[in-house]
Amino acid sequence: MKPFDRRLLRHATAARVYIGTTTAAGVVLTALVVAQALLIAHVISPVIDGEAGFADVRSLILALGAVLATRVAVLIGQERFAHRAATRVIAELRGSVLAHAVAQGPRWLDPARSAEVVTLATRGLDDLGPYFVRYLPQVLLAAILSPVTLAVVFSIDLTSGLILLLALPLIPLFMWLVGRLTESHTEQRLAMMERLGGQVLDLLAGLATLKALGREHGPGGRVRVLADAYNATTLGALRIAFLSGAILEFIASISVALVAVVVGMRLVHGDLDLTTGLAAIMLAPEVLQPLRQVAAHFHASANGLAAATAAFEVLDRPAPTHGDLPAPPLARSSIELRDVGVRAPGRALLAPAHLDAVIEPGEITVVVGPTGAGKSTTALLLLALLRPDEGRVLLHHDGTETDLADVEPASLHRQVAWVPQRPAIVPGTVAENVAGAVTPAVERAAALAGFDAAALPAGWDTRVGHGGVGLSVGQRQRLALTRALVSDAPFVLLDEPTAHLDAATEATVIAAIRELHRQGRTVVVIAHRPAVIGVATRVVEVAAREVAVP
């Protein structure tokens, strides 16, 4: 496992400034460490030998105080900057991962993978904090401080330098051996965390349904098993960390002790002066200390880089290309699906297959077909969230023909109100999920959609959780339908708007569809219930067809 992944510099610009600043801090700290050791030696040695008194070394003591104060200030500044830089880098990566994952489209971002991405973007990338704050500065310091201090030791005492030169490679060697052993444990830990996170997210999303069926305690056993496995994996990594730390501390301690013993023997025999001996003894730990700290924080590196590697697997996926033409006004445009076919993921199936249809402006078009025929896929095609594998989706406006693949998606989405089977409900109040403020128009739209805000605990001010926690599936759909009625989007797409409703509420939704039509909007409804099909001015039937595996 490499101590630094260059892709961090490409995907997180804050990392570039951080590396430069930390390297500069390492150079300054190296100079201060060497100066500190030499000043202490030159202060103590003449006093002990009786060659000088306190007054004679006062200037050296003041200089030593200034060096110590500067070293403390640099360390504090580097630590504060590291925390801020880590926060910025994690935020950049988190935003990039989420944006890139969303750009892959709903087909790639299926429920299982979306749970993995959520876990990675939250708890997973948090492991980069210790990596940036602790490990990476020590790696840079080891690359600067250890060679410089070793060179200084060589310049003042050849014997001590040779002892440290022989001991120095042992620490990276054992770090490499431990790293090879730790890598698999770290990858298992991240994979277990993603599985546990996905399981918990799925459980929370379906908790209301499980509770209604009396099965809310059922998944607890599975979550407990995953949690125990995660704990076991984490403890295994910690066990290796403690063992490796003990080995490296032993090697470093023996090396420093050997230098001290040899220096002491030479002082006794008069082969070495006290100033040089003290300087060599004080610099010996500084040669090994950065590498010891690298080893101590190695597991922060392993966890952080494992999370970063998982993030790069998302970021390195080629993003789907989009056009840059502005979408024509959908209020006066027809949409043609010409011999369209989409391959079903993981199956030798086109769903839909050879679809020919025209959606005229101002009409109610109902898309029908058996389960698995590609009705929801057709909706994704109309929203430019998916490209057909065969055929084309065309926009016709004022005699011009534009391929939907050449259209800039944002300009299209601004003209569309989409009510999926599971609408997006963001944390906040019910009113904030519709239009922010409750106006007479919002009240009328809610009445048309059959959404009764008065039945909620705090009415429009009722707070809902992530994904609409606190509302039933039917309430979420009626809330999304209210949002569509309030919007001024000329194109409204409804995916099974009555799937979770009873007959009475279904009639209310059908009335809302008629109201959208009365307002002159283009309405596309994916449905299978006869009552909804009955309001259509145009019916499009989709079908699937088996194909050869490519």
Are residues 257 and 398 located together in one domain of the fold? no
Structural domain span for residue 350: 330-546
Structure tokens at 167: 């001991």
Do 105 and 197 have their domain in common? yes
Question: Pick from 23, 233, 237: which is nearest to 136 by CA?
Answer: 23
Average pLDDT, whole number, for the chain?
A: 82
CA 447/CA 441 separation, integer angstroms: 10
Q: Helix or strand or coil: residue 116?
A: helix
* 313: pLDDT strictly greater than 70: yes
How does residue 507 score in pLDDT terms, banded at 50, 70 and 90? confident
The answer to the question of residue 376 being in a domain is: yes
Residue 474 · residue 505 · CB < 8 Å = yes
CA atoms of 153 and 232, how far apart (whole Å): 45
Task: Work out the pLDDT band at 178, boundaries 50, 70, 90.
Answer: low
* Cβ atoms < 10 Å from Cβ of 171: 22
C-alpha–C-alpha distance, residues 207 and 212, integer Å: 8
Residues 293 and 398 in one domain: no
Residue appearing with tokens 């330098």: 161
User: Residue 273 falls within a domain, yes or no?
Assistant: yes
Domain total for the chain?
Answer: 2
The Cα–Cα gap between 251 and 219 comes to: 49
* pTM score: 0.63
Q: CA 298 to CA 245: how far, in whole Å?
A: 10
Q: Are 69 and 161 within one domain?
A: yes
Last residue of a domain, one of 267, 290, 315: 315
Start-to-end CA span in the chain (Å): 37
Q: How confident is the model at residue 186 (pLDDT cuts 50, 70, 90)?
A: low
DSSP output for 17-71: HHHHHHHHHHHHHHHHHHHHHHHHHHHHHHHHHTS--TGGGHHHHHHHHHHHHHH
- Report the CATH number that the domain containing residue 426 is assigned in CATH: 3.40.50.300
Give the β-pairing of 522-526 and 491-495. Answer: parallel
Q: How far is CA 514 from CA 369, 486, 508, 511, in A?
A: 22, 15, 10, 5
As a whole number of angstroms, the distance between CA 380 and CA 369 comes to: 16
Tens digits of residue pLDDT in 338-390? 999 998 877 788 888 999 999 999 999 999 988 888 898 899 999 988 889 89
Q: pLDDT for 107-119, tens place per residue?
A: 777 766 777 787 7
Residue 322 lies in a domain: no
pLDDT of residue 372: 83
pLDDT score for 361: 92
Q: Which of 340, 366, 392, 304 is nearest to 523 (CA)?
A: 366
Q: Is 470 helix (H, G, I), strand (E, B) or coil?
A: coil
Pair (298, 431) in one structural domain:
no
Which ranges constitute the DSSP H helices of 316-408?
375-382
Q: Could you tell me if 380 and 353 lie in one domain?
A: yes
Query: How many Å separate Cα 311 from the centre of its chain?
Result: 6
pLDDT digits (tens, 9 = 90+) for 244-268: 667 767 777 888 888 888 888 888 8
Query: Which among 249, 283, 315 is the end of a domain?
Result: 315
At 216, the amino acid letter reads: E
Confidence (pLDDT) at 491: 94
Position of tokens 């006093």?
A: 47
CA 126 from chain center: how many Å? 9
CB atoms within 10 A of CB 412: 21
CATH number of the domain enclosing 77 = 1.20.1560.10
Token duo for residue 357:
């249809």
Q: What is the pLDDT of residue 168?
A: 78
Digit-coded pLDDT (tens) for 26-84: 888 888 988 998 888 888 888 887 777 777 788 888 999 999 999 999 988 888 888 88
Kindly state whether residues 309 and 334 are assigned to the same domain.
no
For residues 94 and 191, membership in a common domain is answered with yes
Residue 433 lies in a domain: yes
Alpha helices in 123-169 (DSSP H): 125-126, 128-130, 136-156, 158-167
What lies within 8 Å, CB to CB, of 502 at 6+ separation is none
For residue 325, tell me if it sits in a domain. Answer: no
> Considering the domain boundaries, does residue 45 fall inside one?
yes
Distance CA 247, CA 367 (A): 68
498: which residues sit within 8 A by CB, 6+ positions away? 505, 506, 509, 510, 527, 529, 531, 532
Lowest mean pLDDT among 3-17, 305-319, 532-546: 3-17
Q: What whole-number distance in Å separates Cα of residue 439 and Cα of residue 427?
A: 21
CB atoms within 10 A of CB 214: 8
